Amino acid sequence: MGRRGGGAGKGFHEAPLVLFSALAVAGAGIGGSRVLLAATGQGAWASSPWEAGVVAGLLALGVLVSTLHLGRPSRAGLALRMVGRSALTAEVLALGASLAVGALAALLPPGSAVGGLARVLLPWLSVLVLLTLGTVYRLPGQVGWGGSAFLRPLALGMVFGMVVQGAAGSWEVGGSALAVLLLVWVVDALLMVLGGRKLERTLGSAEASHPAVFRRRRLLLAVRFSLVNLVAPLAFLLAWTLLLVVVLVAGGVLLDRFLFYALAARLTTEGEVRRVEAALHRRSIAPQSSTD
């Protein structure tokens, strides 16, 4: 994970995790958005077969990509030994259950009792996936990974899911469903702003895992914010081609996941010492400046 900082010379090795989490956010977002649509009267509470197929396909691809980051993929199943004690175990269980249920919901005929139950369970399991994606990285000392950051996959996934559902004709754009989508868009924007401010407040105390990317954080965060929270909503409200909106938000999902790992910064004792020394230095020269 490059948690120790100073990883600039080692390159960006989290690419499989970026792709995995982007695919998971996209897939679970499509599944979880069914909860919001049903709550606003736009369709049933159960996923349709096409929804289930897309969710299962994206999650399966994400799981496959994630194995590229494991040193020993054959030992991935050992994560299940920490049931109830590990956020990673919760993520694995949620993903596995969603993938299995999604496959059943997509493949079993409409009259199947098991298939019907699977289509009802899939939206809620998808929401669980989005929540576990956010909690697995809540590590002590990691700037930007704690606090409200765990809600970012949920908010972004719901935005992507509702946009895809709109492009697929699953809901009529308007009414309470549109209001909910706009509200989730606003929540996603607020979470982005809070995350950016948290990074700025810890400058000097934190050691970046990828310093070259970290130096460009403001530009990159601005691009992500513009894609998802400015251009995409404007295009959606102005009734531009919904496929374009899907592409914009999908690009935002990929960039968001890249920035999540690329802007990792860890609070260190050395960094805190430097921050305190700088503060003391500023205080020591302040009286001299005023006397002059």
pLDDT in tens, 107-145: 999 889 999 999 999 999 999 999 999 888 777 777 878
Lowest mean pLDDT among 25-34, 38-47, 143-152, 239-248: 143-152
More confident residue, 11 or 265: 265
Top-confidence range, 46-50, 87-91, 195-199: 46-50
Give the pLDDT confidence score for residue 290 in this predicted structure.
47
pLDDT value, residue 110: 84
Segment 38-45 shows an average pLDDT of 94
What is the model's pLDDT at position 254? 97
pLDDT of residue 241: 87
Statement: residue 200 has pLDDT above 70: yes
Among residues 227, 20, 49, 220, the alpha carbon closest in space to that of 132 is found at: 20
Instruction: Say which residue the tokens 């809901």 belong to.
Output: 171
Q: Render 110-125 in DSSP notation, one character per residue.
A: TT-HHHHHHHHHHHHH
Look over the chain and give the mean of its residue pLDDT values, rounded to a whole number.
85
Check residue 70 and give its pLDDT.
56
For 220-261, the DSSP string reads HHHHHHIIIIIIHHHHHHTT--HHHHHHHHHHHHHHHHHHHH
What pLDDT is recorded for position 90? 85
| Rounded Cα distance, 13 and 2, in Å | 8
> What is the per-residue pLDDT for 203?
75
The average pLDDT across 93-114 equals 94
Q: Above 80 in pLDDT, residue 180?
A: yes
Question: Which of the residue ranges 63-67, 116-120, 212-216, 238-242 has the most confident prediction, judged by mean pLDDT?
Answer: 116-120
Q: Where are the domains of the chain?
A: 10-281
Q: Is the Cβ–Cβ distance between 87 and 132 less than 8 Å?
A: yes
- Residue 143: predicted pLDDT: 80
Q: What is the mean pLDDT of residues 158-172?
A: 94
pTM: 0.85
Q: What is the pLDDT of residue 274?
A: 55
Confidence category of residue 84, pLDDT binned at 50, 70, 90 = very low
Q: Summarize the confidence of residues 57-83 as an average pLDDT.
A: 70
- Which token pair is 219? 């530009």
CATH assignment of 10-281? 1.20.1630.10
